[in-house]
Amino acid sequence: MKVFVVGSGGREHALCWKIAQSPLVKKLFCAPGNAGIAAIAECEDIAATDVDGLVRFARRERIDLTVVGPEAPLAAGLVDRLSREGLKAFGPTARAAELESSKAFAKALMRRHGIPSADFQVFADPKKAMAYVSEHGAPVVIKADGLCAGKGVTVASTEEEALAAIEDAMVKGAFGEAGRRVIVEEKLEGEEASILALTDGSTIAPLPSAQDHKRAGDGDVGPNTGGMGAYSPAPIVTPEMEDRIIRDILVPTIHAMNKEDRPFMGVLYAGLMIGKDGPSVLEFNARFGDPETQAILPLLSFDLLEAMMACVEGKLDRCQIDCAPKHALTVVLAAEGYPGAYEKGKEITGLEDAAGVGGALVFHAGTRMVKNRVVSNGGRVLNVTGVGGDLRGARDRAYEAAGKIRFEGAFFRKDIGWRALGRGRSNSMAEQSEEFRPDGGGNTETGRKQGG
Ligand code: AMP
Ligand code: GLY
């Protein structure tokens, strides 16, 4: 098969790394890719948002499967366009991707179908949004409706903060069209976790759970980022909790999308708050998470390419989805200043030493080659994943490898995994065999048919 991965981050490097292991691959392409991806795939200089260019390339090369990493091309209809050309693509159509690209749509869908999520109101008029907040007070969460690269959410602890967030989005236009409508949402309490599931629109195959770290600083302080690290599985997602998430959230969501004539194929990512009363949806993404993917894919023992192809062909129920009973933890190495302004073009050294650490994987995020040297080319520069029999071992490997990499202004969080590691109990497989699902939570039967 000729396979084409769209995107240029650590997620796409991990996808290429996993797909390249499939005996089904004859040729692997990536657009636009990065310096790490270039070592395992042929990179094409086409932006991930250039839908015309991507379709032209897939047609010319007669690509057998296009795998779409980021949300923007999904929302722009890349999968629809490829299907119209008779080309197979893994990922939802633009209408199905609205589950991520319009928070107002996702919230309304959950309300219509009784899927647990925070109470909310949608506003298109800033005066009405502000009046509502003044009446109800803080804490409250303000969300821009559209895609904002993870920057459109404000968890406001005071009324002033909430009013300022509404003003930024709706009056000052901080997010352009994406902030024309805002959602004012009840603040939920609990611990966050994510469940990503492969789905062909009827069978659901959950992957090992994950938790990411969105704040820039140790102890979960500082500005929100695209994600500074992740680990998998997340101990808060016990087997009982996973069953509940499948029953109350994943199955009803896939079902609801079918009922509303928006069948969803690809990766359904549920960002959850696990509270006293159980799991609630914070957000849906219509794709693999970044950096969760870099911690999840090393745990999969099945052929991901085969499973993706099965999703496209509506045959996921025939796939065996097994996962290794291991743990993985990913540390993001970022450029000084990220998530604000940062410089690019810093030479990176120590990559080979890092990759030489047993159990460590180095995924490139924002890098490129300049005259045979790898230089930084983004805010999130590299992702180092450690894999081990327990979370502590995974963390030690990740940090040992990350410590060998150098570039000017590099920084990373030192406490990835702190919640899980600080639970005051061992994370060894032997002691947590119940909690850590010997099958890695991939599934217990072959896939899971949605109810009804
Ligand atoms: P989202 O992009 O919707 O996942 O929001 C980004 C982050 O904001 C989440 O990961 C949570 O940390 C936080 N958040 C979003 N919605 C809520 C909510 N209703 N209650 C508490 N925190 C929230
Ligand atoms: N790490 C969260 C996301 O990919 O949106």
- What residue owns the CA closest to ligand 1's atom 3? 283
Q: What is the pLDDT of residues 263-284, one digit of tens each?
A: 999 999 999 999 999 999 999 9
Write the burial class of residue 302 (CB in 10 Å: 0-12 exposed, 13-18 middle, 19+ buried).
middle
Cα 213 to middle of ligand 1, angstroms = 12
Q: Is the CB of 227 under 6 A from ligand 2?
A: yes
Atom of ligand 2 nearest to the CA of 287: 4
Looking at residues 181-203, what average pLDDT do you find? 96
Tell me the C-alpha distance between 230 and 211, whole Å.
5
CA 151 to chain centre: 15
DSSP letters for 306-368: HHHHHHHTT-GGG----B-S-EEEEEEEE-TTTTS------B-B-HHHHHTSTTEEEEESSEE
Q: What is the pLDDT of residues 84-98, one digit of tens each?
A: 999 999 999 999 999
CATH class for the domain made up of 327-435: alpha beta
Q: Is the CB of 292 under 6 A from ligand 2?
A: yes
Which residue from 292, 330, 332 has its CB within 8 A of the most atoms of ligand 2, so it is best to mutate? 292
- What residue owns the CA closest to ligand 2's atom 4? 289
Q: What is the pLDDT of residues 371-389, one digit of tens each?
A: 999 999 999 999 999 999 9
Looking at residues 139-164, what average pLDDT do you find? 91
| Banded pLDDT at 303 (limits 50, 70, 90) | very high
Half-sphere exposure of 392 (CA within 13 A, CB side): 9
Residue in 118, 329, 121 with CA at minimum distance from that of residue 212:
329
Pocket of ligand 1 (CB under 6 A): 118, 141, 143, 153, 155, 185-188, 192, 214, 271, 282-283
Tell me the C-alpha distance between 435 and 395, whole Å.
19
DSSP H or E run through 68: strand 65-68
Find out if CATH 3.40.50.720 is the number for domain 119-186. no
Is there a common fold for 2-93 and 191-318? no
Beta strands in 233-298, from DSSP E residues, in sequence order: 266-275, 278-285
pLDDT at residue 435 in the model = 30
Atom of ligand 2 nearest to the CA of 230: 1
Domain boundaries, the chain: 2-93, 119-186, 191-318, 327-435
| Banded pLDDT at 422 (limits 50, 70, 90) | confident
Q: What is the pLDDT of residues 35-91, one digit of tens each?
A: 999 999 999 999 999 999 999 999 999 999 999 999 999 999 999 999 999 999 999
Q: Which fold has domain 2-93?
A: Rossmann fold (3.40.50)
Q: Any residues with CB less than 8 A from the CB of 84 and at least 6 apart, and which?
A: none
Q: Is the CB of 64 under 6 A from ligand 2?
A: no
Question: Which listed CATH number (3.40.1160.10, 3.90.1300.10, 3.40.50.720, 3.30.470.20) goes with 191-318?
Answer: 3.30.470.20
Sign of CA dihedral 257, 203, 294, 375: negative
Tell me the C-alpha distance between 274 and 204, whole Å.
21
